[in-house]
Amino acid sequence: MLVTFTTEAYADITMFGDVGLAMLKMMGHSATVPGAIRAEDVPVALERLTAAVGAMPATAPTSAKDADEPNVSLRNRALPLIELLKAAAKAEAFVSWK
């Protein structure tokens, strides 16, 4: 499953389902897909996501099975969504996901 975040103010951001659902929960929303955030609620979602990401370690945990794959932390994966939310907040635009 993929989750695509959309707003008029920024390019679409597509994430793997587990990552997208984790981001939704960090923003204070249920993991319901599809969904949306009203324009007036975007700054709060941005603040929650930024706070949650700021509390995370900078690097992803490693395991033996992932030895050949690069590790990308949720903190790094959140950066494009944070930019999308910033653009939406500035433009006073809603954000949806499907």
| Structural domain includes residue 15 | yes
Q: How many domains does the chain have?
A: 1
Q: Which DSSP category does 40 fall into?
A: G
Residue 21 contacts residue 31 (beta carbons within 8 Å): yes
Residue 95 contacts residue 24 (beta carbons within 8 Å): no
pTM for this one? 0.85
| Structural domain includes residue 25 | yes
Tens-digit pLDDT string for the chain (98 aa): 999 999 999 999 999 999 999 999 999 998 889 999 999 999 999 999 999 998 877 665 555 565 666 777 888 899 999 999 999 999 999 999 99
| Structural domain includes residue 65 | no
| Structural domain includes residue 29 | yes
Residues of the domain holding 91: 2-57+70-97
| Structural domain includes residue 18 | yes
| Structural domain includes residue 10 | yes
| Structural domain includes residue 64 | no
